[in-house]
Amino acid sequence: MLPHSPPPFSSAGLRVIFWRWKYQLALALALTAVVSAGIAWALPNIYSSTAIFLPASPQSSDPDRLASGLRLDVDGTSVDLDRVLTIGQSLPLAELMIRRFHLYDHYGAGQPGTDAADNYVLGEFASNLSIVHNERDAIELTFQDHDKKLAADVANALMAAIDSATQQLTLENRRNVLEIYRQRSARLGTSYELTRQLLLTARRRYGVFGLEEQSRYLAKAIIDTEKELHLAEAGGPGNVAGLRRALRGLTQAKGGNIINLEGWTQGADSVAFLVARLTDLRTRYAVSQAAFEQAETALRGRVSSLYLIQKAYPATHKSKPFRLVIVVGAVLAMLAVSVFLIVLLELYRQAQGQRRA
């Protein structure tokens, strides 16, 4: 070190060192700026499309409950939020989107079926997908791609697939409920038809066709016939033998009229029971059939389990890359590396000078 030279790592010493390396340092920074700018501007624009929605509970959005008058509850719990996040980040959903949008060709991964191609496409898909729970308890689903239309289509398709997967959670149970309704309606229908046939047989056997009206008619006919018979037996008008046959026809089942007192007495209770049974079965069968039809309609219904706030649209501006940041960062990194190497080189030279001395 010269007698009047400043210490190497003082501000004056560093100024001298960097002044000595100013052309090399400027050349390195300029080359870095040019190369990084070329790389940054060669990168494709990446566009982001975001869909925002609120999850609802599968039970609250089940069509069986909606058909019975219950409203759709959009206040999703933490369980509902976790379920949507889990479904959205699941492997089957990713594979569905990859097949639907032909992402093997889009990402240039080659033919599917190999571990390398499959892992590459799944990795690209996962890196471009973001599903987060924001501070307002909504789900933000974002997909990025250099094709702005594809990004929007994938985001909307993912949201629809999450909705479908959520509905599948209750679909099997609803099918079981529908089968229970169908079996119950079929049993009631069979019982109704059997009871109706029994009632027809009892009416024909006992001659009981209308309980209240028939009882009044039969009582009046018997009273009138008996009155005429008594008058005829007392010498009044009328044929005694004919009136006795008429009275016997009204009172006896064997050889008597279709509507007779003996048959009515034997069959009134049975017919009354069968009529009451048939009325009850008819009411229950109608209610059961209506419930089955309602359940069948509900099963075929596609009530969304998601409350859509914002559909994903093609972006109007890029989300990345930040080219200026890349260039500035590369220049600053080169400056730091250059300073470090210059300091090391100066220390090496100083150590070599001291050894020679």
**pLDDT tens-place string over residues 136-180:** 778 899 999 888 899 999 999 999 898 888 877 767 777 777 788
Q: Which amino acid is at 70?
A: L
Q: CA 167, 170, 173 angle in degrees (round to 5)?
A: 150
pLDDT in tens, 86-112: 888 889 899 999 999 988 888 888 788
Residue partners of 198: CB distance under 8 A and separation at least 6: 274
Mean pLDDT estimate for the chain: 77
Give the pLDDT confidence score for residue 141 in this predicted structure.
92
**Interval 274-313: pLDDT, tens:** 888 888 999 999 988 888 887 777 666 666 677 788 888 8
DSSP 237: S
- 284 to 81, 279, 291: CA distances (angstroms): 42, 9, 10
